[in-house]
Structure 1
Amino acid sequence: MARVKLDLPDHLDFSTDLDIRISDINYGNHLGNDRMVTLIHEARLRYLKHHGLTELDIDGLGLMVTDIVVTFSAESFLGDVLTFSVGLSDFNKYGCDVVYRVENRAEGRKVAEAKTGVVFFDYSARRLARIPELFKQRCAPELLEADSASAAE
């Protein structure tokens, strides 16, 4: 079976460090894949917080994860500090992909790459919603420029 390959942007505009704790270690004595998903979630929350947002309130809307892909390149162990670089790609009218490059801070080697597909969701109406302007302003100003250029044509 062919391996999944992610094509991440060269530049990811945010990074945060997370320590690998004993609760992250599995029976193989390395970081468990389920715990990597949890760490990715934490990195996404920190990315949003950096932009003054939360997953449940982005101009009255929430985020909903629609898919996740994680590809591993190396093991990670108790006490390692991992740097999660985070950015956005592949926009559509309802959401985008949040992408992650994970590196061992001390060794500078890639541990994993990941992406979570997210959509904006109106939890009170139980339906999809368009990407809010506030999200574009804070996280993807290039979308506002593209919207303005399209409107001018």
Structure 2
Amino acid sequence: MSKMKIELPEPLPYSAELPVRITDVNYGGHLGNDALVSLLHEARVAFLGHHGFSEGDCGGAGIVVSELEIAYRAEAFYGDVLSIAVGVGAIGRSRADLFYRVERSADAREIARARTTIAFFDYAARRPRRTPERFLDTFCARSSA
């Protein structure tokens, strides 16, 4: 079995500090994969909010997560505080990649890397939307030429 590699763009400019709760721990005594997905969701909502967006209004469109990849590196345990760095990668016609680096705050040990692809969506019409200009303006370096 090959080991998944998620190449993170630099920088990942936003970071959220989130604790591992007892409800996040599985029968193996460590952070469960389902709980990590929830923590990534929490970090994504905070990241979007930091930029004036929400999952329901991301510059004029909602979003849905269409893809998720996670590469686990180490265990996390109840009581650990995780630093989840978030940043935007490639932006397409109607989607964008968000990247995450999950580290234990106490020792900077990398716990996981992840990528979600968000698709822009019109919830009223129940169909995909183009990437909103405000999202592009916020996350794309544009030349003045």
Q: TM-score range by the shorter chain?
A: over 0.9
Report the alpha carbon displacement of residue 31 of structure 1 after superposing the two structures with TM: 0.3
Percent of residue pairs bearing the same amino acid type: 45
Match of 1:122 in 2: 122
Report the alpha carbon displacement of residue 137 of structure 1 after superposing the two structures with TM: 2.4
Residue aligned with 1:5, SS: coil
For 1:84, give the aligned amino acid: I
Residue aligned with 2:91, SS: coil
Residue aligned with 1:53, SS: coil
Match of 2:23 in 1: 23
| Partner Cα separation in structure 2 for residue 48 and residue 30 of structure 1 | 28
- CA deviation vs aligned residue, 1:14-63 (integer Å, no higher than 9, x gap): 00100001000000000001100000000000000101110001233100
| Partner Cα separation in structure 2 for residue 60 and residue 85 of structure 1 | 25
TM-score (normalised: structure 2): 0.95
Residue aligned with 1:90, SS: strand
Match of 1:91 in 2: 91
The number of equivalent residue pairs is: 145
User: Which structure has greater helix proportion?
Assistant: 1
- Please list, as runs of the form range in 1=range in 2, the aligned pairs for 1:4-153 lying within 5 A after superposition: 4-138=4-138, 140-142=139-141, 145=142, 149=145
| Partner Cα separation in structure 1 for residue 11 and residue 108 of structure 2 | 16
| Partner Cα separation in structure 2 for residue 96 and residue 59 of structure 1 | 13
| Partner Cα separation in structure 2 for residue 103 and residue 59 of structure 1 | 30
For 1:102, give the aligned amino acid: V
| Partner Cα separation in structure 2 for residue 77 and residue 131 of structure 1 | 38
Structure 2, unmatched stretches of 5+, are: none
Report the alpha carbon displacement of residue 98 of structure 1 after superposing the two structures with TM: 0.6
CA RMSD in angstroms comes to: 1.2
| Partner Cα separation in structure 1 for residue 14 and residue 121 of structure 2 | 24
Any runs of at least 4 consecutive aligned residues in structure 1 with deviations exceeding 4 A, and if so which?
none
Residue aligned with 1:43, SS: helix
